[in-house]
Structure 1
Amino acid sequence: MASISGGNRMKKVSVVLIGYTLVLSAVIGVVAALFLAIVHFSTDFIWEKLPRSLHEPSLYPLIIGIIGGLLVGLIQTKLGAFPYTMHENMAEFRKTGRIEYKNRLWKTILAAWVILSFGASLGPEAALVGMVGAMITWLVEHLRINLASKEELVNLGIGAMMSVIFLAPFNGVVQDIEHKNPVERKLPSWLRYLLSIVASFCALASFVLVKHLLPLPESIFGIRLSDHSIWNWQNLIFALPVIILGVCFAFYFNGLETLVKRGLRFVQNKWVLALIGGISIGLLGMVSSYFLFSGEHQLIEMSSEVTTYSWLFLLLIALGKPLLAAICVNTGWKGGLIFPAIFASSVMGYVVTWPLDGHIGFLLTIFVAASCSRIVGSPLLTSSILLFVFPLQFFPFILLTSFLVSPKRVRELLHKETKS
């Protein structure tokens, strides 16, 4: 009888959680689409419509950078260090099982909107995780369910948001597999994974629906196939040196953040730091618009026009994009680094594979997989994202490369699975 009672209770819990998950995930997709739409409209006005109406003044990017620096400085001094980075948000969640929302949500939204609209070379993922985590925490804390279920719903919400940002429906499951979760595991693995997939697909459905109702730019994410065969020894011979170069670029990308942080440690004034970031955005924006923004939508343009640019110009973009991203995150212009990492790695991939007599698309994919896996520090997450960036038949090589360059992380995952 006890077994039957326990089974009925689990079925009831499952039905309730699936119902809540569907509703909350739909809200997540709508919120993400609306926030990105607002950022797109303001960015288009600031960087496209307004300069055209002013006849494209040469110093316009610098002026906008300075204005943005003043606004970021105001936010940093009056409101606090918003928005929190993804690392800070996830650390808070792993420690407490929730993300605080009281007197914080609107500050996160405002700060993220300013930073992204005024050209920071950063992605929206950090701010969106903070926003959605706070909103879901508020919602579930007002539901009549037990504490463990509330924490599970917050976890599912964050996973669904990661899936929405990168249009990758399995990111939630990957997050659950790769990271130690603060939630006491009272649900069986099959139910957790089922809820995660349900949350991701539901959030994606509402996100895509709202996005189609709004004039948002095309995304780099989508399933596609390559028109050329990659199955030859020449490609495999080139693959190893390309992987090594990809890892070297990751060291450059990650090392820049450390070097910039050390170089700015003597500057304590938040106004000065914010202006350093704004001026850097303005000066590099005067050189090329490819230095600005996250790089997600620019990667489509770059891919179609890459042959019209010189090798030196592409090298400048590939090396300068990580530099500006490092300056931004260390001067109060806080945001995500995954999109800039994909963009910079892709451009550097063009530079590296340019002289090679092989399948450029395949070798470029290998380079980006090696580089981003080391930058992000998560082979499964990187693979699940790049699955929707490069042709589908490249995915086995993406997965293999990601694990090959992350031996320490692979050992941790194997150890975690063995313990569980």
Structure 2
Amino acid sequence: MGKLIRWIVYLVVAIVLGAMAGALTWVFFFLMNTGIEFLWVRLPEAIGAWWWPLPVCLVGGVVIGAFAKRFGDYPQTMNEVMAEVKATNRYEYTHLGSSFVGALLPLLFGGSIGPEAGLTGVIAGLCTWVGDRLRFLGKEFRDWAEVGTAAVVSAVFSAPLFGLAVPWAGSADGEEEAFRLDVPKAKKVAVYLCSIVGALGAMIGLGQLFGGGGGLPRFDQLVLGRQELELLVPLALVCGVTGLLYHASGRVIGALASVMGNRPVVKAVLGGIVLGLAGVALPFSMFAGETQSEVLMETWVTLGATTLLLTGVVKVLVTQTCLSMGWRGGHFFPLIFAGISMGYGFAALTGANPEFCLCVCTAALMGAVMRQPLMCVLLLCLCFPARSIVVMLAAAAIGSILPLPKSWLAKASREGGASTDAAADPTSADEAPAKK
């Protein structure tokens, strides 16, 4: 096979794998949204029960705990997946079904978590499977796991630059490592871009044909005046401290999970009770946050500043509770929603431009959690326009320089900027993903 033809085939495979990642992401979001629509919209309307979140989350805890007890702690976190891919150039695909179902169940039952953890592992495994069957074409056709992670992260977040940066960085928190694919760096960028184009093309195409999909809304009406400039530092500090609360609560709740030992059902039920009670009091404290952000965009003026600010803080705590108690998933979507809610709260409180408040609050909170301002800005480009980059970068930098104990910082580096998708205490007996 000539070099040119070989390179063309290589790029075509990258596009196809990206499209596969985008299609599977769309299917995941479709199943998630369909299940949530039935369980959380149609049934409550038929029953008319204001207390609905508590029993559903309680049942969800039983189901999630039983699943973990039977199949192990799946899915792995996004950075655990990336670490395995970086170490071995592959991701084992023997538990793809468990990862897919394990990622879907907590979302269906209202978990305040994101879908990125399960999807990253599933796509990395599928790409490894494809690479194993293309070995006859040469060594460079074997190592596709990183290409798949770039594609799926781009599809999940609708943020191609973040998707490109994550595998390049080696983790979601921006640790700098080299690409692993055995081709020159310029060509690696081309391969990653092809996979991202394929993923976003499949997501957009399926969404246009059948509807559905995922992602957060765009906030494009940013106004930057004197009042807004005066509020930048105070808002960033307050929301940055909320990001530190995420770290602190993870340590506390993780310690409780460690004390409870290897009892996945008990932990998941306890997490479900906390989630259900929060959902009864503050409904927006549940779910990943995509659809809730769209609803909040239309209704925030009717809720009041106190409710909006309290929702953001409770969302942070509930997310850590879910993650530590076995409701496995990602942390990006719910924390972005927490920043959006707090941003609307401060807009109601101060009268400043809402989009400015959203931009600053979300960037500062995520900056404090991720500890990587540039990665934070690349992620938040899915929500905010290019003209807000300087504001986001300033707010994320303020959040990221707020001090944390060194042990927390080390853990944040390992797990994507937070004690994230697994329990906050690494000594917990049943929080490490089982390898059956």
Give the TM-score taking structure 2 as reference length: 0.84
In the alignment, structure 1 residue 14 sits paired with structure 2 residue 12? no
When Rg is computed on C-alpha atoms for both structures, the one with the higher figure is 1
In the alignment, structure 1 residue 168 sits paired with structure 2 residue 162? no
Identity, % of aligned positions: 25
Give the equivalent residue in structure 2 for 1:417: none
Give the equivalent residue in structure 2 for 1:123: 114
Q: Given residue 178 of structure 1, which amino acid in structure 2 is its aligned partner? A: A
In the alignment, structure 1 residue 298 sits paired with structure 2 residue 292? yes
Q: Of 105, 122, 125, which aligns to 1:134?
A: 125
Partners of 2:37 and 2:373 lie apart in 1 by 34
Partners of 1:382 and 1:183 lie apart in 2 by 20
- Residue-by-residue CA offset, 1:107-135 (whole Å, 9 max, x unaligned): 11222221111111101011110111111
Q: Of 268, 278, 296, which aligns to 1:284?
A: 278
Q: Given residue 326 of structure 1, which amino acid in structure 2 is its aligned partner? A: Q
Q: Given residue 360 of structure 1, which amino acid in structure 2 is its aligned partner? A: P
* 1:63-212 matches, cutoff 5 A: 63-102=55-94, 104-143=95-134, 144-151=136-143, 153-179=144-170, 180-181=176-177, 184=180, 186-212=182-208
- Residue-by-residue CA offset, 1:284-320 (whole Å, 9 max, x unaligned): 2222321211011101111221111122212221111
Q: Given residue 125 of structure 1, which amino acid in structure 2 is its aligned partner? A: E
> Deviation of residue 249 (structure 1)?
1.6
Give the equivalent residue in structure 2 for 1:272: 266
After superposition, the Cα gap between the structure-2 partners of 1:217 and 1:375, relative to the gap in structure 1 and judged at 3 Å, is: same
> Deviation of residue 401 (structure 1)?
3.7
Give the equivalent residue in structure 1 for 2:396: 402
The SS at the match of 1:141 is helix
Larger mean CA deviation between 178-187 and 347-356 belongs to 178-187
Partners of 2:121 and 2:265 lie apart in 1 by 24
In the alignment, structure 1 residue 246 sits paired with structure 2 residue 239? yes
Q: Given residue 402 of structure 1, which amino acid in structure 2 is its aligned partner? A: A
Contact 2:158 2:382 (C-alpha < 8 Å) held by counterparts: yes
> Deviation of residue 149 (structure 1)?
4.0
Give the equivalent residue in structure 1 for 2:251: 258
Q: Given residue 310 of structure 1, which amino acid in structure 2 is its aligned partner? A: G
Contact 2:305 2:345 (C-alpha < 8 Å) held by counterparts: yes
Q: Given residue 290 of structure 1, which amino acid in structure 2 is its aligned partner? A: F
Partners of 2:213 and 2:302 lie apart in 1 by 23
In the alignment, structure 1 residue 33 sits paired with structure 2 residue 26? yes
Give the equivalent residue in structure 2 for 1:331: 325
Partners of 1:270 and 1:163 lie apart in 2 by 32
- Residue-by-residue CA offset, 1:264-292 (whole Å, 9 max, x unaligned): 32112221111101212222222232121
In the alignment, structure 1 residue 391 sits paired with structure 2 residue 382? no
Partners of 2:12 and 2:368 lie apart in 1 by 38
Partners of 1:198 and 1:404 lie apart in 2 by 35
Contact 1:173 1:197 (C-alpha < 8 Å) held by counterparts: yes
Partners of 1:342 and 1:41 lie apart in 2 by 23
Larger mean CA deviation between 173-182 and 333-342 belongs to 173-182
After superposition, the Cα gap between the structure-2 partners of 1:328 and 1:300, relative to the gap in structure 1 and judged at 3 Å, is: same
> Deviation of residue 159 (structure 1)?
0.6
The SS at the match of 1:264 is helix
Give the equivalent residue in structure 1 for 2:413: none
After superposition, the Cα gap between the structure-2 partners of 1:157 and 1:382, relative to the gap in structure 1 and judged at 3 Å, is: same
After superposition, the Cα gap between the structure-2 partners of 1:43 and 1:388, relative to the gap in structure 1 and judged at 3 Å, is: same
After superposition, the Cα gap between the structure-2 partners of 1:149 and 1:380, relative to the gap in structure 1 and judged at 3 Å, is: farther
* 1:57-68 matches, cutoff 5 A: 57-68=49-60
> Deviation of residue 141 (structure 1)?
1.1
> Deviation of residue 101 (structure 1)?
0.7
> Across the two proteins, how many residue pairs are aligned to each other?
395
Q: Given residue 281 of structure 1, which amino acid in structure 2 is its aligned partner? A: L
Partners of 2:51 and 2:227 lie apart in 1 by 48
Q: Given residue 49 of structure 1, which amino acid in structure 2 is its aligned partner? A: R
Contact 1:217 1:297 (C-alpha < 8 Å) held by counterparts: no
Partners of 1:17 and 1:168 lie apart in 2 by 24
Q: Aligned-residue CA RMSD in angstroms?
A: 2.4
Partners of 2:334 and 2:387 lie apart in 1 by 24
For structure 1, the residue ranges without an aligned partner over 5 or more in a row are 409-420
Contact 1:95 1:182 (C-alpha < 8 Å) held by counterparts: no
After superposition, the Cα gap between the structure-2 partners of 1:99 and 1:311, relative to the gap in structure 1 and judged at 3 Å, is: same
After superposition, the Cα gap between the structure-2 partners of 1:24 and 1:62, relative to the gap in structure 1 and judged at 3 Å, is: same
Give the equivalent residue in structure 2 for 1:364: 358
After superposition, the Cα gap between the structure-2 partners of 1:68 and 1:249, relative to the gap in structure 1 and judged at 3 Å, is: same
Contact 1:133 1:157 (C-alpha < 8 Å) held by counterparts: yes
Q: Given residue 216 of structure 1, which amino acid in structure 2 is its aligned partner? A: G
Partners of 1:131 and 1:125 lie apart in 2 by 10
> Deviation of residue 220 (structure 1)?
2.5
For structure 2, the residue ranges without an aligned partner over 5 or more in a row are 171-175, 403-436
